[in-house]
A and B are shown apart, each in its own frame.
Chain A
Amino acid sequence: MSLESTTYVLRGARPLGGDAADVVLRDGVIAEITAAGTADTTGAEVVDAAGQVLLPGLVDLHTHLREPGREDAETVASGTRAAAAGGFTAVHAMANTSPVADTAGVVEQVYRLGQEAGWADVHPVGAVTVGLDGERLAELGAMADSAAHVRVFSDDGRCVADPVLMRRALEYVKAFDGVVAQHAQEPRLTEGAQMNEGIVSAEIGLTGWPAVAEEAIIARDVLLAEHVGSRLHVCHLSTAGSVEIVRWAKSRGIDVTAEVTPHHLILTDDLARSYDPTFKVNPPLRTAADVEAVREGLADGTIDIVATDHAPHSREDKDCEWGAAAFGMTGLETALSVVQETMVDTGRLTWSDVARVLSAAPARIGRVDTGPAAQGRPVAVGEPANLTLVDPAARRTVDGGTQVTASGNTPFRGRELPGQVRATFLRGRATVLDGTPVVAGEAVR
């Protein structure tokens, strides 16, 4: 950590897309924001940020780092390096590892691996139920009290389908201001499901995953949350009906937050016609009408955040029949670009909104927005220097082989996307410079 004392001057950066300024990072905080070209650069490293948008470091509420258990697909180190490359300074690591993160021991291990790697803060998500089996609550309190300080609990990958168990979980986490992040999928309605149920599934003969299987759970859960006065977070909402239910719940004052993934903002179930398992994901890619509805929901605030659901998979889990392939796609390195293309370049969100949906709001939901390692803070003097610089004018063609993540299952392979993260700073220390991850000042790939 010898570089903590390095002073950076981000010359000509545009905080939240506003007017160009010089932003000085010193001793882990934002020390100064002055008119462009006026900062004192003596002894400082100058980063030419002309034209680049300065955002608070992004916070992902939904990442699969795969460690422990599937280190062939991703590790805490490789996943957080990919996160840094994508502009993230904090990620919430989902609990469906092997062993499952359902004890204080496992969450502390993941937390420490994140600290050792140093690319981004890793906040483990605790499992709601033992072994994700949906039968009895895991020791949520022990995980909350552990060094990992868990506040988000989820059986992601599986739904807490039992209504009584869900009610208990919602109630129980109130004791430590936790939140249950529900993977909304009615299991009986989705047995053997392979893709969105609709016109495409009927034609290509893949078992359907109906929208109602998501919507029914969300509807039940918002009513449960209202009844017991708890807060609820809805993971990767994907249908127009889900947006409507969350909108209704918020209008009733129910304490619910919702996330959408980048891929559900841009891709549709038509891609399944290729039978390319890269496009197999859970919840599945939906229709164009659903894509429009989630964009609208994100624009009007019904959907609070964008979370990647970054789900790396080894090649053998994707290089096979659709029906045999694993669900999931990577997303950390493309999330900001997809949000730019679908929401910013279309005029539906400002960069300030992007800071909200990709940083401030997820940090607040995960309760990592206060304390010495606070994330998702404003770009203001005195705040922790968790920042990312993005060049919105850059365009790049995504190549699964050259991404930082250890897995190649990006659905954007060969696709040109706007925006490129140029630099990322974690408490004043550069994790990415010139678009490349750096350790101790050296670029690594």
Chain B
Amino acid sequence: MRPGPALPADPHPDGTTVLGASDVARALTRIAHEIVERAKGADDVVLLGIPTRGVTLAHRLAERLSAIEPAFDAAASTGELDVTMYRDDLRRQPTRAVGVTRLPQAGIEGRTVVLVDDVLYSGRTIRAALDAIGDLGRPRAVRLACLVDRGHRELPIRPDFVGKNLPTSTSERVRVLLSEVDGVEDAVVISGREDTEGDAR
């Protein structure tokens, strides 16, 4: 795929915009429907966002679930899960600030937990999240939703719900921009891409 010419003037000159605001919105709506379909309703679904943007995406998904299933209590069924203290790469990086973990009021015990993250890459963050969930309770099932799956998994982890599969090279950087967090229009941007490599994939 060669993005570029088909899109309007690129607002991110240091990268290539691969998803625009309407693409993001459509993807989230589709994921919401898939969640309901897979869980046969939204009764026991709770959403756990992984900071920072996963939390924002979880809230957006919760709104959509309410729209599909009016009985779904978005506020009581959404939480955030900081996985910092479960990471396996702490010693490879400068010290990370520990974030907040806030479980949904509905709890996670016996629920279908949908983990929400912005970009799925090596799978290590999700591994950490699964360990964290294990210490917090025993859900009936854990599913994974991500806006972008860029490949290059290092662990046997696959997403249940994907906004967009995005083939990338490891040298590239994928950024998800969300208006609530970044103060700009929603977008998914790739930088560091070489044209030839893009063709090859």
A and B touch in the complex (CB under 8 A): no
